[in-house]
Structures are given as C-alpha cells and as structure tokens.
Amino acid sequence: MQVLIDNFDRILEAFLTTLRLFLVAGALSLVFGTILAGMRVGPIAILNKAGALYVAIFRNTPLLVLLLLVVFGLPKLDVQLGYFNMNVLALTVYTSTFVCEALRSGVNSIPLGQAEAARSIGLGFGQTMTQVILPQSFRAVVPPIASVLIALTKNTSLCSIFGMFEATAAMKGLFNDNAGARIPIFIGIALGYIIIVEVISAAAAMIERRWRIV
C-alpha cells in the first residue's frame, strides 16, 4: 500500500475533480431533469412531445458517444467551453433524462384528485406543480434519484478519456508507473468510489426518513 501513501496528494486531487464533476453535473441534471419532467406531464402538447423526443434520443445514446460528440463536435462549431465544462455538459445531457423519468414516475404516482383539488381552488398548472405535485413527487422518488446520482458518480470515470485528471485517470497513471502494485492501486481507487457512493446512499436515506416523518 506504500504506493498509495506516496501518491496520496495525486489521488486526492483526482478524487476532488471527480467530486467537482459529480456535484456540478448532478445539480444541473436535477434542475434540467425537473424542467423536462414538467414538460412531459404538462398540458402543452408540443412541449410534451419535445420532452419525450429529448428523453428518447439522449437516454438511449451511450454516454461515451455523447462525450465524443460534445468534446470533438463543439470545437468544430467554434464553441470553446474547456474540457471540464464540456464533460459536465455531456454528463448533464445524459443524466437529466434519467432524473426526468424518475420524477415523471413520481408525478404519476400522485392521485389525480390532488391536481383536481388544486385547480378547484384556482391554482394554475405551474402553481399546482410547484406547490402540490412536485413536493410530493420528490418524496416518492428519493431512492431512484439516489440511484441516478450513484450512476453519475461512476459515469464520471469516462471523463478520464477526455482530458480530465479524475480518479480513473489517476489509477491509469499509477498503473503505468507502478506495474507491480496494480492490485493495491485498484483496491485503493475502488474504495474511494465506494466511499462517495456510500455518502450519497446515506444522504438519501436520511432525506427519505426526514420526509417520511414530515
């Protein structure tokens, strides 16, 4: 395990990059996924169809392909975002579709009478969604949203191919420099991912218990 101790600063820097990718892409995915879910369950047909088309295209496109399109396609269109922003963009485009579908299932689980009651007291669609439906939906979909965020954490490993020195890139570099210590290196990096995933799971469980009490 000496190789991990000797390269601790390098590994820490890599995991901080992994966390930055996760936190920024995760936050953007939650926001955009919520907007997509609103489009998909809303009464405006064109928005409903646009949301469904977006989800159908990007949920079924491999993340690696999206990363290739963003990282190599945008510069050809004279769009320069930097490697971090381009990786975040691809992760967000992909992950937001899964957030959308999780939220949509939560919205569909709310009894129709809730929306009818809201409309009967004069609330519009937007007010009904933000004040009545979505708060209940979020409570119902904490576990699936947590699963989406866990998948996002692991998907950040693909960013090592596209200019990001994150945890997987650090592991590859350590493999090249320390061929005889591959097993402890692999175990050390894997433990880092496991810790991040366990923190997400614990936070989701805490939120679920808190909202259940409320």
Task: Give the up-direction half-sphere exposure of residue 186: CA atoms within 13 A in the CB hemisphere.
Answer: 5
Question: Would you say 128 and 61 are in contact if contact means Cβ atoms under 8 Å apart?
Answer: no
- The domain locations on the chain are 2-213
Q: Which of 23-32, 69-78, 110-119, 148-157 has the lowest mean pLDDT?
A: 110-119
Model's pTM, two decimal places?
A: 0.85
In this prediction, residues 183-201 reach a mean pLDDT of 90
Tell me how far CA of residue 45 lies from CA of 33, 133, 134, 157, in angstroms.
18, 19, 20, 38
Give just the sign of the alpha carbon dihedral 188, 190, 196, 201.
negative
Residue 155 has a pLDDT of 93
Terminal Cα distance for the chain, rounded: 46
5 token code pair? 């101790």
Give CA–CA dist 56/68, Å, rounded: 19
Options 1.10.3720.10, 3.30.70.2190, 3.40.190.100, 3.30.2320.80; CATH for 2-213 is 1.10.3720.10
Residue 38: pLDDT over 90: no
Percent of the chain whose predicted confidence (pLDDT) is above 90: 39
Mean pLDDT across the stretch 81-105? Answer: 92
Read off the tokens for 93: 């485009």
Whole-number CA gyration radius for the chain: 20
For residue 193, is pLDDT > 60? yes
Confidence of residue 133 (pLDDT cuts 50, 70, 90): confident
